[in-house]
């Protein structure tokens, strides 16, 4: 049904550049609010979240955008000093203002969930609910859990990863192939849809990702390596749903930490999924998310 829904694209001026967005749907049914989706990375694109457009069938607009430096919002030339958490938090507010999203729901996936929590900590008005999908609240905890999962990879794969990390050759095809072993277990366990494939292609070598994260999911040497908001989660008062997969790199320990520290937060674990339940168990994902949004719409 989403193929029949109207889609509107545009650009919002930001920091002397512009941020691309897409709106799926024309408006809201009475008592419903739009959903703003924050993609992962940092340095990813909205493409891998395209299946979430189906949520527009629930009588609400679904809004995607490519964060500055990413996808349709990519910038010319090197800009490594630009990429900060603060830049992307401000961008959420700029998008809201430009599109007139006075009241809305916010869903963030992976880095997008980190961004959503950071935005919630600014105490914004008009946010009816927050959905944190497959995200950590601490990069130190994230790396610790990723390395625990990495220890279960075949010894030859582990040796290849370590060899290239020590040599600083993490752009070597051999390293990338070894990292793919991890991704197939803990990032997406089903054949990649065209949107997921496009996001992975655009993430490879992306300056935002390399600056803030590093060369791979478990080798975080970028500016986010010490990021930690666990002690501040209690400040989030927005109704929150935490989503994760059984085989997720955002492990049950990571998801449980967020659930336990945001007052009243709920947590749904997808038993057949890793880092992308929206791709791995799409029907259940849309049901769980749709029910949560409906429960926190003004008309609930």
User: For residue 297, how many other CB atoms are within 10 A of its CB?
Assistant: 21
Non-local (6+) Cβ contacts of 106 within 8 A are 35, 36, 38, 92, 116, 119, 120, 127, 129, 130, 131
The catalytically annotated residue of 46, 105, 186, 275 is 275
171 is catalytic: no
Alpha helices in the chain (DSSP H): 85-99, 111-120, 139-150, 155-167, 173-186, 194-203, 207-212, 252-261, 277-280, 282-295
Active site residue 248: yes
The answer to whether 216 is a known catalytic residue is no
Q: Is 24 helix (H, G, I), strand (E, B) or coil?
A: strand
Cα–Cα dist 201/38, whole Å: 18
Q: What interhelical angle do 252-261 and 139-150 show, nearest 10?
A: 160
Strands 266-270 and 240-245: parallel
> Comparing C-alpha atoms, which of 96, 114, 102, 80 is closest to residue 14?
96
Q: Is the dihedral of CA 284, 114, 15, 81 positive or negative?
A: negative
Rounded Cα–Cα distance for residues 232 and 47 (Å)? 31
Catalytic residue among 32, 47, 110, 186: 110
- 154 contacts: CB under 8 Å, gap ≥ 6: 181
Residue of 47, 66, 134, 248 marked catalytic: 248
Active site residues: 110, 248, 275
């Amino acid at each position: 049904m989403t193929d029949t829904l109207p889609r509107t694209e545009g650009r919002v001026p930001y920091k002397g550049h512009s941020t691309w967005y897409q709106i799926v749907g024309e408006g809201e049914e009475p008592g419903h609010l739009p959903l703003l989706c924050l993609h992962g990375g940092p340095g990813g694109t909205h493409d891998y979240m395209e299946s979430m457009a189906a949520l527009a069938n629930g009588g609400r607009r679904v809004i995607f955008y490519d964060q500055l430096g990413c996808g349709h919002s990519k910038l010319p030339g090197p800009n490594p000093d630009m990429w900060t958490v603060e830049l992307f938090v401000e961008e959420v507010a700029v998008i809201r203002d430009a599109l007139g999203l006075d009241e809305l729901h916010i869903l963030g996936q992976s880095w997008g969930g980190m961004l959503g929590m950071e935005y919630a900590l600014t105490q914004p008005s008009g946010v009816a609910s927050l959905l944190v999908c497959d995200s950590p609240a601490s990069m130190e905890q994230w790396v610790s859990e990723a390395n625990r999962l990495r220890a279960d990879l075949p010894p030859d794969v582990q040796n290849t990863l370590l060899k290239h990390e020590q040599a600083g050759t993490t752009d070597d095809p051999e390293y990338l192939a070894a990292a793919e072993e991890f991704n197939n277990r803990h990032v997406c366990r089903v054949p990649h849809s065209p949107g997921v494939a496009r996001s992975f292609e655009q993430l490879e070598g992306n300056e935002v990702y390399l600056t803030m994260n590093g060369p791979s999911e478990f080798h975080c040497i970028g500016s986010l390596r010490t990021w930690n908001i666990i002690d501040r989660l209690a400040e989030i008062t927005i109704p929150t749903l935490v989503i994760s997969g059984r085989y997720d790199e955002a492990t049950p320990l990571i998801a449980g930490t967020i659930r336990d520290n945001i007052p009243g937060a709920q947590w749904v674990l997808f038993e057949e999924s890793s880092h992308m339940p929206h791709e791995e168990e799409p029907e259940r994902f849309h049901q769980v998310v749709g029910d949560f949004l409906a429960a926190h719409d003004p008309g609930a």
